[in-house]
Structure 1
Amino acid sequence: MLNKYPLWKNLMVVFIIAMGALYALPNIYGEDFAVQVSATRTSEVTTDTLANVNNELAKAGIDIKSVKMEDGTIEVRVLDGDTQLQAREALAAALGRQYVVALNLAPTTPEWLEAIGGGPMKLGLDLRGGIHFLMEVDMDEAVSKAKKGMITSFPSDLRQERIRYSGVSSFGEGIIIKFRDEAQMDKAEFFIKNRYNQYQVSEAKDETALLVVMTDDYLKQIRDEAISQNITIIRNRVNELGVAEPVVQRQGAERIVVQLPGVQDPTRAKEILGATATLEFRLVDTDTDPRDALVGRIPASSELHQRREGGPVVLKKSVILTGDHITGARAAFDENGQPQVSIDLDAEGGTKMAGATKTAIGKPMATLFTEYKPTGEKDENGRSKLQKIEEVVSVATIQSRLGRSFRITGLGHAEAQNLALLLRAGALKAPVQIVEERTIGPSLGAQNIENGLSAMIWGMIVVVIFMAIYYRSFGLIANLALVVNLLLIVGVMSMIPGATLTLPGIAGIVLTVGMAVDGNVLIFERIREELQAGRSVQRAISEGYGNALSTIADANITTFITSLILFAVGTGAVKGFAVTLMIGIATSMFTAIVASRALVNIIWGGKNTNKLSI
């Protein structure tokens, strides 16, 4: 029978619309003003901290909606923005620097919706407000680390090839290797040129030595890797600490843009992003007394460092392994109930660790933690000077030959948790510093949303009035399909984890409003043509939908491909526009071709009628 869907297809349409409505539902609940309390590296959030927070809020006479502790963070929900600021000031003063007290916005989605994965649409920085950072990578330090690697690796390579040398030292963007005779120098030059293509080798003029410098291509590779690795690690750190939908992308040759929608207080964000730390595993020099090292009596192959808990320790300069080779880290407890961090290495890291510890069983190995913090001073280029701070966070005795998996002990519980987090997120390839910081208030985001919604509503009103007047009953069906289309867009945007609505995204939805009725217009005009050609009502409806399908598909598929290209090559606002446009195209095709026809079939399908209101 013409114009009749089977039951399963009608049920499918109802199911899709119901799912879209269900997942769009969380967007009507709004958000609460919240204050989040989290720990720094040297502390942890406990039930005592929760009790302290409750006491301080009661003492300050602050009205709250709820307080809960989850995943090492205390969340305090309050009634309004003024109360939020009061709560932040009271808690920050009471808890001190051991805890970070940050402002945030917490969704009020009911638990039953959260249980099925429901949540509000993620809003971009321009709509929700938040924090914008422009970070600069210290490329000089990236090159310096590569040069330090040369000084460490070349002596072992030369010894392995049985080439005798008298010394290795730093020189410009490379190193200088000294030899006792020209025969050994020639042998080393041949070896380096054949083994390494990333270095240029030349003979020194005044002495028996080789100058080994990095090529321009290798220097560019180091800088590109520093940017790309730092972007990945910063994104991992933000994700690990629960900041939703961050934007982390490259800008220019040495800078990274970080946008954190919904975060109102830059303090916590700086705590996350400012951890420009690296890790090194080194052997402890047990032959040198730290008291001798304090007065300057220390071998050239060792150097003096300080433990985090206090006290000197002498470490070998040779680095066994850096944090670059760590693939996983978990905080747990050992067989004695003491905190530990279990570490997994990649294949190369496992080989290095096994080789270094094979002959070091029973000797202590230290974990050296290095941070770069701004001094408040500027260099000649106007950039903040960084102070290098090194601390030995753990010293553990090597019980057996280590491989791709081992553990670090001797830490406190909070230290183990934070060290595992840092190791999972990775060590930055080079230090970064924040050169620009902007906080966008929620009020500006609310104004953007209001303006965007106004544009969308007025566009819909004009379209709805036109369709109702020009196509009459079929126009009402098209208008209903348009409402369903918007509902599905919101539902899909809320369901997809990576989809974020931005101001250009609202523009994409406004454009979709016009495109959504375009398919119905094509169908209705074909139905009119069939009726004018003398076809019956049922035949005209069937032919109208059937013949218009290819035209609608061609137009929408080409637009979808264009949107896909925009998403692939675009950044920021362009991506936000492309995402909503792609989703809108998919939902508009469904509502125009499938959903509207299901409704037409229910009203007119299979009935003996001689006239259509179209």
Structure 2
Amino acid sequence: MMEFSRWKIWMVIIATVFGILYSLPNFLPQTMREAMGRYYLPSQVLNLGLDLQGGSYLLLEVDTDALAREKTANLTEDVRSTLRQKSINFSGLAATSEAVNVRITDAAQFETALTELQRLPQPLPKNPSIRDINVVRGDNQTISLKFTTDGRRADAASAVDTSIEIVRRRVDSLGTKEPTILRQGANRIVVQAPGESDPEQLKRVIGQTAKLTFQMVDETISPADAQAGRVPPGSELLVSENPGEPYLVVKKRVLVSGDNLTSASVGTDQYNRPAIDFRFDGQGARKFGDATAQNIGKRFAIILDGKIVSAPTIQSAITGGSGQITGTFSTQEASELVNVLKGGALPAPLKVEEQKTVGAELGADSVAKGQFSTLIAFISVVIFMILAYGFLFGGISVAALLVNLTLLVAGMSVTQATLTLPGIAGLILTLAMAVDANVLIYERMRDEAAAGRSVIGALDAGFSRAIETILDANITTLGAALIMFAFGAGPVRGFAWTLSLGVITSVFSAVFVTQILLVWWYRTARPKKLPI
């Protein structure tokens, strides 16, 4: 173990230089970091978490009940559309929370209707052997389309996964650096946005469903009759943002949805007011072109989150796949709407269950306290090691500790880890654990020297016989940290990541740095007695 290997020397030198280069930007002003970046030098710094930098915290719940209601309504329209396309007479089309029921009035068409409706169920993406809907033959020529439990559960899980990705894209569009977005429980999402001082804007951007649809206006009935409750089947009464038309009746059938959008940007209308320019993909462009070609002279409604934004008259077929949404937008509202449209529509509404704001001053106070705690911990370790093992061996352990701290900060900067207040606790714990390996080595050396071994024999035995214990203790700690990182959330993951990096750097510094320094001392001093 006390072999003076050149590869060990070069490894320690390269690692130390690497640590200094990548940790240095954390102690330099912004202008110098930008200059280093221009010369391809390391310029990345530690990201401070919500509790250190300040920012906003939201706990969101995905409204899976609304998702179930929407799917039930969509299935009802699919049943109506399927039967009408095949000219099958039906009555009593109604939906419950668990199923959609319909009665086929002509017994001769019952089997045909059953065959057509059996095409509606879809296999579950992760379990194709199970369908999301069971089509059941009922009494008195009725057919029931019942939602399966597995289907409902798969829809809810998919909605949460999709919502997390969409929320992430929306938060990124605000310029928030290193947001933390995690699932909590079955249908909740935790959003931590460091540096975001306006939680209301965060709520607006995140919480907007941004469900964009294009549907035909039903001109067979007036809004007044619809408000009186005489809405025809297959249509619905919606609120309009046009003050001259506070309500409009639209057909429930969606011509094109926002799922086919490829781009959205802020533009201006003919009156130089803020508007939203959009473009469809190939499939959306074909649907939009066909729909407008078949309905020239009629009105279609542009609906966003259940509210009619505008309802222009189709003058000619729109085949280019692009268009414009006009309305009473401010520039900020149009910009926020573009961001959420780019991020995609949420599959279900999000409800804010909890909201917290951490002020920048409170974050700065936490940083100051963390720095002070780390300094106290470092000084305490230095004093202990020097009192216990003298200036030589204690000083060597302190030198290894400094290398360890440098490598740890560099590692967190390179990986762009987010440092939280618990992460600082992990940093302090790492300082204590780093010298723990030195204590094991030194105590083994003492025992060997007391047993009559020579200096070189005691040094060699101290490393060779303590290494197993060091690895065993640190691998156990690393395993616990990885479990916390895998199953924890937010600050717990920050603590686990800091602790994991600290375990790796502390083993490196305690074994290699300490060994090389002791070998160098032995080769230089040639002592006759172990001064420990």
User: C-alpha separation between the residues in 1 aligned to 2:500 and 2:443?
Assistant: 25
Deviation at 1:536, TM superposition (A): 4.4
* Structure with the largest fraction of strand: 1
Given candidates 260, 263, 274, the residue that maps to 2:207 is 274
Change (3 A) 1:245 1:437: same
AA partner of residue 110 (structure 1): R
**What residue in structure 1 maps to residue 408 of structure 2?**
489
Conservation of the 8 A alpha-carbon contact between 2:266 and 2:338: no
Give the corresponding residue for 1:112.
35
**Equivalent of 1:558 in 465, 476, 499:** 476
The whole-number CA distance in structure 2 between the counterparts of 1:613 and 1:407 is: 82
Q: Aligned to 2:253, which of 302, 318, 321?
A: 318
CA distance in 1, matches of 2:88, 2:502: 70
* 1:370 maps to 2:304: yes
Give, in whole Å, the separation in 2 of the partners of 1:393 and 1:598: 78
Name 1:147's counterpart in structure 2. Answer: 72
Deviation at 1:13, TM superposition (A): 2.4
State the Cα distance separating 1:531 from its structure 2 match: 3.9
Distance 1:332 1:272 in 2: 16
Counterpart for residue 21 of structure 1: 20
Check whether the contact 2:79–2:117 (CA below 8 A) recurs between aligned residues: no
What is the alpha-carbon distance in structure 1 between the residues aligned to residue 141 and residue 69 of structure 2?
25
CA contact (8 A) 2:404 2:434 kept: yes
Q: 1:242 and 2:242 equivalent?
A: no
Change (3 A) 1:544 1:309: farther
SS of structure 2 residue aligned to 1:242? coil
Query: 1:585 and 2:518 equivalent?
Result: no
Residue 544 of structure 1 is matched in structure 2 by: 462
**1:355-394 to 2 correspondence within 5 Å?**
368-371=302-305, 388-392=306-310
1:198 is matched with: 132
Percent identity (aligned): 35
Q: How much has 1:522 moved relative to structure 2?
A: 2.2
Residue 510 of structure 1 deviates from its aligned partner by: 1.9
1:24 Cα deviation after fit: 2.6
Aligned residue type for 1:118? S
Equivalent-residue separation in structure 1 for 2:491 and 2:55 (angstroms) = 16
Cα distance in 2, alignment partners of residues 474 and 393 from structure 1: 82
Letter in 2 for 1:481: A
Q: CA deviation at 1:583?
A: 0.9
Secondary structure of the equivalent of 2:208?
Answer: coil
SS at match of 1:212: strand
CA deviation digits over 1:84-127, x for unaligned, max 9?
Answer: xxxxxxxxxxxxxxxxxxxxxxx777312455562432222222
Residues 9, 323 of structure 1: CA spacing in aligned structure 2 closer, same or farther, 3 A cutoff?
farther
In 2, Cα distance between equivalents of 1:455 and 1:261:
22
Q: 1:467: how far off?
A: 1.1
Note the residue ranges of structure 1 that are not aligned, 5 or more in a row. Answer: 31-106, 372-387
- Alignment partners' CA distance in 2, 1:2 and 1:208: 90
Cα distance change, pair 2–552 in 1 and its aligned pair in 2 (3 A)? closer
Shift in Å, 1:585 = 0.6
SS of the equivalent of 2:442 reads helix
TM norm structure 2: 0.78
Give the one of 515, 521, 527 matched to 1:603: 521
1:450 positional shift: 3.9
Say whether the 8 Å CA contact 2:264–2:276 is kept in structure 1.
Answer: no
Cα pair 2:62 2:160 within 8 Å, conserved:
yes
Deviations 1:544-580 (A, max 9, x none): 3344333322221222122111111122332222111
Deviation of 1:426 (Å): 1.6
SS in 1 for 2:196: coil
Report if aligned partners of 2:260, 2:280 keep a CA contact under 8 Å in 1: no
Give the direction of change, closer, same or farther, for the CA distance of 1:218–1:184 in structure 2 (3 Å limit).
same
Matched AA of 2:410: G
The amino acid across from 1:171 in the alignment is A
Task: Tell me how far 1:278 sits from its aligned partner.
Answer: 0.9
Unpaired runs of at least 5, structure 2: 122-130, 268-274
Tell me, in whole angstroms, the C-alpha distance in 2 between the residues paired with 1:484 and 1:366: 68
Q: In 2, distance between residues paired with 1:456 and 1:305?
A: 60
Tell me how far 1:471 sits from its aligned partner. 1.9
> In the superposition, relative to structure 1, how do residues 611 and 301 fare at CA in structure 2: closer, same or farther (>3 Å)?
same
CA distance in 2, matches of 1:142, 1:191: 25
Is the 8 Å Cα contact of residues 255 and 287 (structure 2) preserved in structure 1?
no
The Cα of 1:532 is off from its aligned counterpart by 4.3
Contact 1:306 1:391 (8 Å CA) reproduced: no
Change (3 A) 1:468 1:360: same
> Secondary structure of 1:264's partner?
coil
Are the equivalent residues in 2 in contact too, given 1:122–1:501 (CA < 8 A)?
yes
1:164 aligns with 2:88: yes
CA spacing shift, 1:398–1:301, aligned 2, 3 Å: farther
CA distance, structure 2, for counterparts of residue 516 and residue 393 of structure 1: 69
Q: What SS class does the counterpart of residue 175 from structure 1 fall into? A: strand
Q: 2:421 aligns with which of 478, 498, 503?
A: 503
Separation of aligned partners in 2, 1:471 and 1:157? 86
Taking structure 1 as reference, are residues 534 and 440 closer, same or farther at Cα in structure 2, changes over 3 Å only?
same
Is the CA contact 1:135–1:432 (under 8 Å) kept in the aligned structure 2? yes
Aligned CA RMSD, in angstroms, stands at 4.1
Residue 4 of structure 1 aligns with an amino acid whose one-letter code is F
Tell me by how many angstroms 1:500 deviates.
1.7
Tell me the residue number matched to 1:229. 162
Query: 2:194 aligned to 225, 249, 261, which one?
Result: 261
SS in structure 2 at match of 1:243: coil
Kept in 1, the 8 Å contact 2:82–2:117? The answer is no
The 1:344/1:524 distance shift into structure 2, 3 A limit, reads farther
2:213 aligned counterpart, secondary structure: strand
* Contact preservation (8 Å) 1:27, 1:121: yes
Match of 1:185 among 95, 99, 110: 110
1:569 has 2:487 as partner:
yes
* Larger RCO (alpha carbons 8 Å, 6+ apart): 2
Judge conservation of contact 1:113–1:119 (CA < 8 Å) in 2. Answer: no
Could you tell me which amino acid in structure 1 is paired with residue 33 of structure 2? P
Give, as a single letter, the amino acid of the residue that structure 1 aligns with 2:307. Answer: I
Partner of 2:4: 4
Cα distance between partner residues in 2 of 1:481 and 1:453: 20
Query: Structure 1's 425 and 395: CA in aligned 2 closer, same or farther, altered over 3 A?
Result: farther
**Change in CA separation of 1:340 and 1:269 when aligned onto 2, cut-off 3 Å:** closer
State whether residues 77 and 234 of structure 2, in contact with CA within 8 Å, keep that contact through their aligned partners in structure 1: no
Q: Give 1:319 shift.
A: 1.7
Instruction: Tell me if the contact between 2:250 and 2:301 (Cα under 8 Å) persists in the aligned partners.
Output: no
Give the drift of 1:588. 0.7
2:90 partner amino acid: S
Q: Give the letter for the 2:347 counterpart.
A: K
What is the correspondence of 1:89-108 to structure 2 with a 5 Å cutoff? none
Q: Which moved more, 1:534-543 or 1:125-134?
A: 534-543
**CA shift in 2, pair 1:170/1:429, >3 Å:** farther
Question: Residues 432 and 529 (structure 1 numbering): CA distance in 2 closer, same or farther, change over 3 Å?
Answer: same
**Distance in structure 1 (CA, Å) of the matches to 2:24 and 2:113:** 71
Name whichever of 297-306 and 488-497 sits farther off.
Answer: 297-306
Pick from 324, 342, 350 the counterpart of residue 432 of structure 1.
350
Give the aligned length: 500
Q: CA deviation at 1:237?
A: 0.8
